[in-house]
Structure 1
Amino acid sequence: MQIKLNTLEQGKIENTLEISGIPKEQQENLSEIVRKIGNAINQDNNDIKKIYRKESKGSASQKRHSSVVVLTLREGCRDKWLEAAKACSLSPRVIGKDGEGRIHLREALTPATAYLLWKTKSELKDTNLVQFVWCKRGNILIRKSENDKIFAIRSESDVEKWVTALKNKA
């Protein structure tokens, strides 16, 4: 039941992207910042329906560096923006700021999906049990090595099952 509920919640944000690496400033113009990013990756800024900044919990310095700009796009545009962003390296210079960091575009995830992705990475990838862990369209996927079959992770019990199975093989 919980898996189905999270799938429905993830579906509600399927046209949403998160942009990290944009330092927060007083009197910032998010529309202008996102317009510059859209131009840098050759995407139509008319695809954007809504922009806002999602604040993170923590100290003021953590908030400044970890806040995320969220944009909702017209239906079907998210994947175009993601593919275009992968093709180039975005830095704060793209938006007229100094800095050495990177600006990343990623699909928005529900808190439950984000937690499950983190747990999967920390228990399977960081321990070298699998080589690849990624999320695509709200689905967490794993692959043991380059040419192996792809498997979906839908719950914490799936992670535990894979950890046990892969440790027993080793």
Structure 2
Amino acid sequence: MAVSLQSWGCCSNELIEEFEQFINCTYCKKSYHFLCLSIPEIARDSEAYDKWKCPECINLAPKTSKKDCTPTRNITTTRGNKRPALNSPPKASPVTSENVRTIVQDVIKKEFNDMLKQLNNSMIGVITKELEPIKNEMRDLKESMSFINKKFEEIESEQLAAKKSFKVLQDINTHLGNTVSDLVQRLNYLEQQSRSNNLELQCLPENKHENLYSTVKQLGIIIGCELKDEDILHCSRIAKMSSSNTRPRSIVIQLASPKVRDQILAAVISFNKSNPQNKLNSEHFGHTGIKKPVYVVEHLSPSNKALHAAARLKSKEKGYKYVWVRKGKIFVRKSENSEYIYIRNSDTLSKIV
């Protein structure tokens, strides 16, 4: 229970009965703390508690003697300070609610700081323990990333070097390709030039006892172009390009000059035009049995022969009427009034449309 400030005689602080032990003066009715009075506590249910007077009321009360009825005088005397008793406890200063509050706050603050410090230490220890594996993994990851980055830089450097080398090789390969293509064309030209005096007699049936020189001379007689012995340098049958081909082996005739070759070709063309129903065939050479056509053409190089076959096939597909060879060169024409196309190589086959 709170006591009003005016009812206290020892101190001016308002305290609470439950936390402070005090006693009431039976004369002035003021309250005094036992701690402020520096006296032992007196039980409330005792007679001394009910008759207790404060020091001020005791000093104000007149001192009477049972034997002397003379009224006392007010005598003012001067006394020195009372000498404190030996081994007496020092006079304690009064404790206020502010002091208690400050003490409680200090204790709580100290306890809170200690608890906070302990909690921080515990948390730091736990976090450090939990983060240690992560720290190790991060260190290993960093080392791995450094290793990978180093390898990547090496690979990138090697890739750039390989790219440069590839570009150089690509340029060299292009140059070599062009060179090879040029050399192939030159070789084909030389091969064709080496055959400039030659003719090829195709589809003439073979005979074990045949005489090719006599056969060639007979060809001249048939077409009306007489050949002398000195005009025929060499003649022989050549191997088939494909063993599965059922056609007879062709006869290659090497003549004395391109002029003689051209004369024979012109005579063959003239003979076939004059005899459209009986063009040059196997019967003209004395072969019995089924009559088979015989062709006299220029002796082409292997490359030109393959190109000629491709041109004939493509012309047939596209409806071209004429395909012919003149001095080793291949030409096609769609009709009599259309322009001819010179088939130089396989790329020019695309012109046949």
- Bin the TM-score by the shorter chain: 0.7 to 0.9
**What one-letter code is carried by the residue in structure 2 that aligns with 1:32?**
S
Residue 318 of structure 2 aligns to a residue in which SS? Answer: coil
Bigger share in strand: 1
Report the counterpart of residue 243 of structure 2 in structure 1.
Answer: 58
Contact 1:3 1:154 in 2 (8 A): no
Residues 1-170 of structure 1: pairs in structure 2 closer than 5 A: 1=182, 2-46=184-228, 47-56=231-240, 57-59=242-244, 62=246, 65-75=247-257, 76-88=259-271, 89-98=279-288, 99-123=290-314, 125-128=315-318, 130-160=320-350, 162-163=351-352, 166=353
Superposition deviation, residue 49 in structure 1: 1.2
Change (3 A) 1:30 1:142: same
SS at match of 1:28: coil
Cα shift at 1:148: 2.3
Moved more, 91-100 or 8-17: 91-100
Structure 2 CA distance for aligned equivalents of residues 90 and 48 of structure 1: 20
Secondary structure of 1:146's aligned partner: coil
Q: Which runs of 5+ in 1 are unaligned?
A: none
User: How much is the aligned-residue C-alpha RMSD, in angstroms?
Assistant: 1.8
CA distance in 1, matches of 2:336, 2:280: 27
Question: How far off is 1:129 after superposition?
Answer: 5.3
Structure 1 segments, 4+ long, off by >4 Å, are none
Greater fraction helix? 2
Following the alignment from structure 2 to structure 1, what is the Cα–Cα distance between the partners of residues 235 and 302? Answer: 19
Q: Partner of 1:120: helix, strand, or coil?
A: helix
Q: How many residues align?
A: 159
| Maintained 8 Å contact 1:3/1:155 | no
TM-score (ref. length: structure 1): 0.84
Aligned-pair CA distance for 1:42 = 2.0
Is 86-95 or 103-112 further displaced after alignment? 86-95
TM-score between the two structures when normalised by the length of structure 2: 0.42
Contact conserved, 1:50 with 1:73, CA < 8 A, in 2?
A: yes
Instruction: For structure 2, list consecutive stretches of 5 or more residues without a partner in the other structure.
Output: 1-181, 272-278
Overall identity of the aligned pairs, in %: 26
